[in-house]
Structure 1
């Protein structure tokens, strides 16, 4: 059964190996280039313990890091779409499963071998690609210290391997249910995209209880934010940073008594603040106007020291989902008629 599965799967596997080899050549070259640049910046520091110039390394390779993550991010979905979805759907569509089911091989063993061979292959391909990207960009990640970024988190270390296991089982189950290859591929891609949007935004921030801190909204603190306000007109500060932390939630601007700032007051400061002529920073007189009202925000955050805990927890979550989907598939294939 394993040999039969391998013969059916060898052409997709060959395509995967070729693509992985080409990807590896590029990433290894990039990784060596990053290390040369890192050593160059370190050399300019003349042995000082702190090297502010290294920050330029993160700037130089910021877009490259995002492009690599964007390139690796869809890989598990593509493997689930082209390897997982046709795994069962193509057999049911062509009726070739009857030849095996009418012999000594049980349906569950047939499905288990297919999932094991293709699932492990997908995990290996994704794992190698993720390991290469993690190695290549590790100097940049150390300097930038933004590994909790939504895009980067899912393209480093363990998480992509768990994504691959999940999406292959997802594709196989969808193929078992719809029994048509092309619709199964489309549905697999759609569901994976939805899950990849929901988990980072709704689940990941709550895998561990958040820490909380109150931050006074001085003019300097406001000017360090990336934005003010929202499309609803709420008195909010966007893109607020906490040192060595991943900020997961920021409250509305609050007064000294803890009440939300009146949106009308916020709007006046935002659209027509008193002109001081001395205000500096990106928000100028608006920041000064808001700071005079003794405001603060309540910030929920995850310390960066929890990075590996989040990697393990999210990987376990996806593997658990893969196990549940596999259980549904085994139950379904045992009950469905030939």
Structure 2
């Protein structure tokens, strides 16, 4: 059964290797380029007042490229699920070739389990290699930027791409088992995995571990560090050093009540004479916000928890597939 599964999969495996080779070369080139640039910019830090500008320029030079690579790696599990997972069972059921195996000594569950194991292992290895190379290539940038919890960066580094690849593959295989047609199974896999990729960083990941909550006074200097203040008393771009901010309250008064939006709007549009600029006007109101954040020290905890959750979900889907195939009508 292992030999048969490999014979059926070897063409796809060869295509995967050929497709992965340019990506691996690009990641190797990018990693070497980033390291050379990092050493070059780092040399400017011999002059203290130039170091901050040098590191900022270093991030600007590589931010877009690394975001595109992270996006590519975020798409990779979906590609594996669509082209390796979805056709795995659906193609057999469409053509009826599964009957030849089922009418011999191989049980349905063994047939499915071996297929999931062989092709699933290939999917995991592809994602692991791509993740390893991108994590290595981006490590100097990540050290400087401190953006390890970014939605794209987090899902494209270390363990999570491997777990997502396993989940996407099993999702595609089970979709093919249920739908019994390759193209609809591929479409269903894309839809389900895209939905998962949207929900995880926005609704699930921030709550995997209870956040740290602090109260931050909003002085004039604090207002100047923001990207902006909304007329509805919301703040934009509030940051905490070495942390991922997951939630920020509206501006609150000293008594803990939401500030009157008209008061904020007055400072934004018509600051009282003698009150200085908008930041001085808002700072004089003695306001504060409640900030929820995840320290960077929890990064690996989030990696392990999210990866374990994806693998557990993949295991449940595989178990469902093994149960369902026993009741599958030929």
For Structure 1 versus Structure 2, the TM-score category normalised by the shorter chain is over 0.9
- CA deviation after TM superposition for structure 1 residue 276, in Å: 5.0
Whole-angstrom distance in 1 between the partners of 2:27 and 2:20:
10
Aligned twin of 2:218: 217
Instruction: Tell whether 2:280 aligns with 1:288.
Output: yes
Q: Which residue of 2 aligns with 1:261?
A: 259
State the partner residue of 1:7.
7
Partner residue in 1 for 2:305: 313
Output aligned runs, 1:223-262, within 5 Å. Answer: 223-229=224-230, 234-262=232-260
SS of the equivalent of 1:243 reads coil
Deviation of the 1:18 alpha carbon? 0.9
Task: Give 1:30 shift.
Answer: 1.2
CA RMSD of aligned residues (A): 1.6
* Structure 2: distance between partners of 1:2 and 1:227: 60
Report the counterpart of residue 33 of structure 1 in structure 2: 33
Query: Which whole-Å CA distance do the structure 2 matches of 1:275 and 1:242 have between them?
Result: 32
Aligned to 1:199: 200
* Alpha-carbon distance in 2 for matches of 1:323, 1:267: 53
Q: CA 1:104–1:47 in 2, change beyond 3 Å: closer, same or farther? A: farther
Structure 1: distance between partners of 2:185 and 2:274: 62
Task: State the shift of 1:137 in Å.
Answer: 1.0
- 5 Å-filtered alignment, 1:53-132, equals 53-132=54-133
Q: Number of aligned residue pairs: give it.
A: 328
Deviation at 1:19, TM superposition (A): 1.3
Structure 1 residue corresponding to 2:325, chosen from 323, 326, 333: 333
Please name the residue that 2:18 is paired with: 18
- Structure 1 residue 118, shift from structure 2 partner: 1.1
Deviations 1:155-189 (A, max 9, x none): 10100000000011111111111111101000101
For 1:80 and 1:294, the matched residues in 2 are separated by 53
Structure 2 CA distance for aligned equivalents of residues 237 and 276 of structure 1: 24
Q: Deviations over 1:184-227 (max 9, x none)?
A: 00010110010011111111111111101111111221221223
Report the 3-state secondary structure (helix = DSSP H, G, I; strand = E; otherwise coil) of the residue aligned with 2:46.
coil
1:277: how far off?
8.5
Mapping for residues 146-185 of structure 1, pairs under 5 Å: 146-185=147-186
Contact residue 87 and residue 173 of structure 2 kept, 8 A = yes
- Structure 1 unmatched runs, 5+: 280-284
Q: CA deviation at 1:44?
A: 2.9
Please give the alpha-carbon distance, in whole angstroms, between the structure 2 residues aligned to 1:204 and 1:275: 46
Distance (Å, rounded) in 1 between the aligned partners of 2:90 and 2:223: 55
TM-score scaled to structure 1, two decimals?
0.93
- Residue 51 of structure 1, CA deviation: 4.2
Distance (Å, rounded) in 1 between the aligned partners of 2:270 and 2:18:
60
Alpha carbons of 1:209 and 1:99: their partners in 2 closer, same or farther (altered >3 Å)? same
